[in-house]
Structure 1
Amino acid sequence: RHITDREHTAESNEPDVQIVVSNQTFANETRELRGALVDLSVATSTNIVNATSVISGGFSVSQKGKYPWLVSIRSSSGFHFCGGALLNKQWVLTAAHCKVRRSDKCVFATLARKGNAGAIVRGVGDVKTHPQAATTMYNTWTYDFELVKLDEQLLYSDYVRPICLPAQFIAGQSCMLAGWGRIKAQPAEYAEFLQEAEITTKQKNSCGSYTPLIDDSSFCAEGRASACNGDSGGPLVCEDSSGRAFVTGITSWASSSCKIGAPSGFGDVSAVRGWINQIIST
């Protein structure tokens, strides 16, 4: 398996944008790794890598069932390319830029990035992308949400359980990010097992040089870790005072180097709660 990079230059005037598209080749198919990795330098140039899910600076998860709502979305040949969050027995929330296909699989109750030993696997029955989902001048996404309907309902257990939708976005919360993907951007180094990290949500106007990337449908969070290639679509999970977990954000972008301490970007789930409920209740 190898990754090839193609560099392009965007036509937008301010800031200059450099795009690096990474492709993953496996079996007899080539698919674009999903996700946007962004780096705004002092010179206001933006490096964007389209990729998938990973956590830089995180720690391995050894307790199966710690994140029972977490989904590994994989190609038909078993390659993990995005994460997701289980909302009920048949619907998963992920990122629009993941572009899930009917041939893909959703894998539950697993810690490993590869293989399905002891895991629960469902096919994709339908995909609903948010009607306002679109790329921005920075090559990130606005309204970066997609709902995946499983081809067969799940049975809940200690290892498979849904997560709640938030009523509102709250800045200053310490939340958990979990996913499979790169633990180092360059040279590429992937985690074999689930990684987790604690990061803090920020005010929408307090993301430093990344603030122009934030809109009504997104927010940033930062800490001693960063999202990275392969974490796209995965949930940022925050708890209320009673310990109830909410999918506050859906991983959308991170710095091109997965720099620890740099903000990562998330879709603001509270902004699309009405759309989600309308889809999953039918």
Structure 2
Amino acid sequence: PLRIADAPGPAGTPTRILGFGTIADAPDPTGWVFPNRLQELDTRRGAPDQCAPGYADSTRLCTISQVPGAMACNGDSGGPQLQRNRKGRWELIGVTSGPGTPGVRCSQGPGLYTSAPAYTGWVREVIGRSG
């Protein structure tokens, strides 16, 4: 289990994303290559204006890679974006959603993440119904 953060950190906060999405950012799906092992990438919270206008807001987080030419891509959707809390423990702040700029290959642009803290109430409600 992973705790949902009370709030995502401000722009510039170090984060990490995880996924099994393609590691070959080919425009044609026949060129996609998927890893055998879980991939990790150091990222940071971006300011809303670092994604396309209207893409990032209080429920959608703009995310910037710390590694040139790398970002979440096809097959990573639904994967976690994590930040460390004050005690150094990982907590969930986002869920992979898609590109942060239309028409830009995933490895070249920012990523867009659904804010997990924005939906904590809904998550708790749904989990409570299934238990």
TM-score, L = length of structure 2: 0.81
Indicate the residue corresponding to 1:183 in structure 2: 23
Contact 1:236 1:249 survives alignment (8 Å): yes
For 2:35 and 2:47, how far apart are their aligned partners in 1? 30
Instruction: Count residues with an aligned counterpart.
Output: 118
Alignment partner of 1:250 out of 77, 95, 111? 95
Please report how far the alpha carbon of residue 281 of structure 1 lies from its aligned counterpart in structure 2 after TM superposition: 2.5
- Please tell me the residue identity of whatever aligns with 2:98: W
Q: Aligned pair 1:207/2:46, yes or no?
A: no
Indicate the residue corresponding to 2:59 in structure 1: 217
Please report how far the alpha carbon of residue 280 of structure 1 lies from its aligned counterpart in structure 2 after TM superposition: 1.3
Indicate the residue corresponding to 2:2 in structure 1: 163
Indicate the residue corresponding to 1:141 in structure 2: none
Please report how far the alpha carbon of residue 215 of structure 1 lies from its aligned counterpart in structure 2 after TM superposition: 3.2
Find the residue that maps to 1:238 and give its secondary structure. strand
Q: When you count strand as a share of all residues, which structure comes out higher? A: 1
Indicate the residue corresponding to 1:272 in structure 2: 119
User: Any stretches of 5+ residues in structure 1 without a counterpart?
Assistant: 1-161
Q: When you count helix as a share of all residues, which structure comes out higher? A: 2
User: Any stretches of 5+ residues in structure 2 without a counterpart?
Assistant: none
Give the number of the structure whose alpha-carbon radius of gyration is greater: 1
List structure 1 segments (4+ residues) > 2 angstroms apart after TM superposition. Answer: none
TM-score, L = length of structure 1: 0.40
Please report how far the alpha carbon of residue 266 of structure 1 lies from its aligned counterpart in structure 2 after TM superposition: 0.1
Indicate the residue corresponding to 1:35 in structure 2: none
- RMSD (CA atoms): 1.6
Q: Larger relative CO (CA 8 A, sep 6+): 1 or 2?
A: 2
Q: How does 1:1-282 map to 2 (within 5 A)?
A: 162-171=1-10, 172-186=12-26, 187-204=31-48, 206-208=49-51, 210-223=52-65, 224=67, 225-254=70-99, 256-260=104-108, 262-282=109-129
Contact 1:184 1:258 survives alignment (8 Å): no
For 1:218 and 1:245, how far apart are their aligned partners in 2? 20
Question: How high is the sequence identity, in percent, across the aligned residues?
Answer: 26
